[in-house]
């Protein structure tokens, strides 16, 4: 598990403005086998900050338990007046978000396409 706390989440990958708050990088699969551990981490980070960014670029496997955790964290952020952003989701993450038609329920900030000018 990789966790990076910052005063402003560094999202230099997308060229977007930094997100004020904290960033957590999930450097493993987000499945039924890991969600209990991640739930504790994500909710703790969300509690201590006005915004939370979750870097999902290295997630190679996401199952429905992982998806439920992301949706739950998003609802908790909304309930408490905070912001949750999913940063650079991997293709596995995007595929499940689209398959389950839940992309509109979460704020997703994709990485720029290589070679795209800015």
Domains of the chain and any CATH numbers: 21-109 (3.30.750.24)
Q: Taking a C-beta distance cutoff of 8 angstroms, is the pair 86, 108 a contact?
A: yes
* Band (84; pLDDT cuts 50, 70, 90): very high
- How many residues can be counted in the chain? 118
Token digits of residue 102: 């839940």
pTM: 0.79
Q: Taking a C-beta distance cutoff of 8 angstroms, is the pair 109, 16 a contact?
A: yes
* Band (7; pLDDT cuts 50, 70, 90): very low
CA dihedral for 26, 30, 33, 38, sign (positive or negative): positive
Residues 6+ apart with CB under 8 A from 16: 109
């Amino acid at each position: 598990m990789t966790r990076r706390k910052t005063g402003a989440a560094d999202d230099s990958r997308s060229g977007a403005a930094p997100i004020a708050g904290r960033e957590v990088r999930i450097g493993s699969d987000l499945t039924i086998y890991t969600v209990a551990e991640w739930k504790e981490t994500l909710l703790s980070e969300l509690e201590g900050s006005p915004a939370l960014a979750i870097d999902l670029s290295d997630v190679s496997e996401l199952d429905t338990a992982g998806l439920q955790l992301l949706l739950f964290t998003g609802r908790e952020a909304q309930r408490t007046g905070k912001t949750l952003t999913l940063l650079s989701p991997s293709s596995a993450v995007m595929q499940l978000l689209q398959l389950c038609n839940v992309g509109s329920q979460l704020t997703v900030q994709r990485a720029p396409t290589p070679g795209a000018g800015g």
